[in-house]
């Protein structure tokens, strides 16, 4: 391996920036959670467009070139930041649409009025529709990119972002979109943030290999780093807190679409928990999952930046 393109000191400054910016990150997450981007109900179509526009403008504010691209259904958000000098390009995928909030009567507070609450088990939590699935998780990646760019003016690898607005309604526009924009979206690997952790202190990686085959891997690693080898070998990954990381199986259709239409493998790194009540009343997201998720992405980007092109072999 050649000299890493990033150094440990660089990463630490990014992590410090994330820690100092915690409140701002929560404020931004609350802004998008206030938009009722329910894709399954036509009554919320304008809100879905608003959410897409919010995401694109947020990406531009960070330093990406980003736009909202129409489809027959809900628009896609596409963003690029290229110029890292790394041979690697990653495609990040997430979705801005959310499940309907019904039954509304079971919410203890309005679903699109995000708030912080104390959970007896989880501690401080964000309560809102989409807090965990998937706006909270999408924002972990955007916040990591924001801090990298704010501190260093660059990302460790080239990054393309694709945010979908129909994940909760079966992704009807996605196949044709990938056919039309495949060349633009193509990357060495896709990073998907729409899955779960094993538990509050144990992050999980799900690595899809070929087609619909996916692996269930258990890896134990040092307390800080993700080492190269995520392609063709198990990743050694440790999330915040130094717990061993455990990969577990999950299935979302986008991964198969990326493989069959773009020839790309996906790495699923999610920061949701089984008790987040996704798709149910009073959906919550642990503040710890949000802040540590962003820190994990900052580290993962750093590690990807240290790969000298083996991923392309
Ligand atoms: Zn989701």
Question: In this predicted model, what pLDDT tens digit does every residue of 11-43 receive, in sequence order?
Answer: 999 999 999 999 999 999 999 999 999 999 999
Greater pLDDT, 231 or 127: 127
User: Smallest Cα–Cα separation from 191: which of 162, 220, 222?
Assistant: 162
Q: How far is the CA of 94 from the centre of ligand 1 (A)?
A: 7
Q: Would you give the end-to-end CA distance of the chain in angstroms?
A: 13
Q: What is the CA radius of gyration of the chain?
A: 18
Q: What H or E segment, with its residue span, contains residue 50?
A: helix 45-62
Q: How far is the CA of 168 from the centre of ligand 1 (A)?
A: 7
Residues 64-105: tens digit of each pLDDT:
999 999 999 999 999 999 999 999 999 999 999 999 999 999
Q: How far is the CA of 93 from the centre of ligand 1 (A)?
A: 10
Residues 111-148: tens digit of each pLDDT:
999 999 999 989 999 999 999 999 999 999 999 999 99
Ion ligand 1 neighbours, Cβ < 5 Å: 133-134, 194
User: Cβ distance 97 to 168 under 8 Å?
Assistant: yes
Distance CA(61)–CA(146), nearest Å, equals 9
Q: How far is the CA of 237 from the centre of ligand 1 (A)?
A: 23
- In eight-state DSSP terms, residue 14 is H
Q: How far is the CA of 134 from the centre of ligand 1 (A)?
A: 5
pLDDT of residue 149: 98
Distance CA(303)–CA(229), nearest Å, equals 10
Residue 119 phi/psi, 5-degree rounding, is -105, 135
Residues 170-206: tens digit of each pLDDT:
999 999 999 999 999 999 999 999 888 878 888 888 7
Distance CA(274)–CA(32), nearest Å, equals 23
pLDDT of residue 293: 96
Q: How far is the CA of 167 from the centre of ligand 1 (A)?
A: 7
User: Cβ distance 280 to 206 under 8 Å?
Assistant: no
Residue with tokens 């299935």: 251
> What does the domain layout of the chain look like in residue ranges?
8-188+273-312
Q: How far is the CA of 306 from the centre of ligand 1 (A)?
A: 30
Fold entry, domain 8-188+273-312: Aminopeptidase (3.40.630)
Residues 6+ away with beta carbon under 8 Å from 245: 202, 203, 204, 205, 219, 220, 221, 235, 237, 238, 239
Distance CA(276)–CA(125), nearest Å, equals 10
Q: What is the average per-residue pLDDT within 102-109?
A: 95
Global confidence as pTM: 0.85
């Amino acid at each position: 391996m050649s000299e890493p393109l990033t150094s440990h000191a660089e990463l630490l400054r990014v992590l410090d920036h994330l820690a100092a910016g915690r409140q701002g990150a929560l404020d931004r997450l609350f802004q998008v959670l206030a938009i009722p981007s329910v894709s399954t109900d036509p009554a919320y179509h304008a809100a879905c467009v608003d959410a897409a526009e919010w995401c694109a403008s947020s990406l531009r504010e960070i330093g990406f070139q980003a736009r909202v691209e129409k489809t027959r259904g809900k628009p896609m958000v596409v963003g690029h930041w290229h110029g890292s000098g790394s041979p690697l390009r990653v495609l990040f995928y997430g979705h801005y649409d959310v499940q309907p909030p019904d039954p509304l009567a079971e919410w203890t507070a309005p679903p699109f009025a995000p708030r912080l609450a104390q959970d007896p088990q989880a501690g401080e939590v964000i309560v809102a529709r989409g807090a965990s699935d998937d706006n909270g998780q999408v924002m972990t990646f955007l916040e990591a990119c924001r801090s990298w760019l704010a501190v260093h003016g660059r990302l460790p690898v080239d990054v393309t972002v694709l945010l979908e607005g129909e994940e909760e309604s079966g992704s009807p526009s996605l196949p044709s979109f990938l056919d039309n924009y495949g060349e633009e979206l193509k990357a060495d690997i896709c990073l998907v943030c729409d899955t779960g952790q094993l538990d509050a202190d144990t992050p999980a990686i799900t690595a899809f290999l070929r087609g619909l085959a996916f692996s269930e891997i258990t890896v134990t690693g040092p307390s800080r780093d993700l080492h190269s080898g995520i392609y063709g070998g198990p990743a050694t990954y440790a999330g915040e807190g130094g717990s061993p990381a455990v990969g577990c199986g999950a299935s979302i259709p986008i991964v198969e679409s990326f493989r069959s239409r773009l020839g790309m493998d996906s790495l699923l790194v999610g920061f949701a928990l089984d008790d987040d009540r996704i798709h149910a009343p009073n959906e919550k997201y642990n503040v710890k999952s949000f802040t540590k998720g962003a820190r994990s992405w900052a580290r993962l980007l750093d590690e990807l930046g240290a790969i000298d092109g083996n991923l392309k072999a």
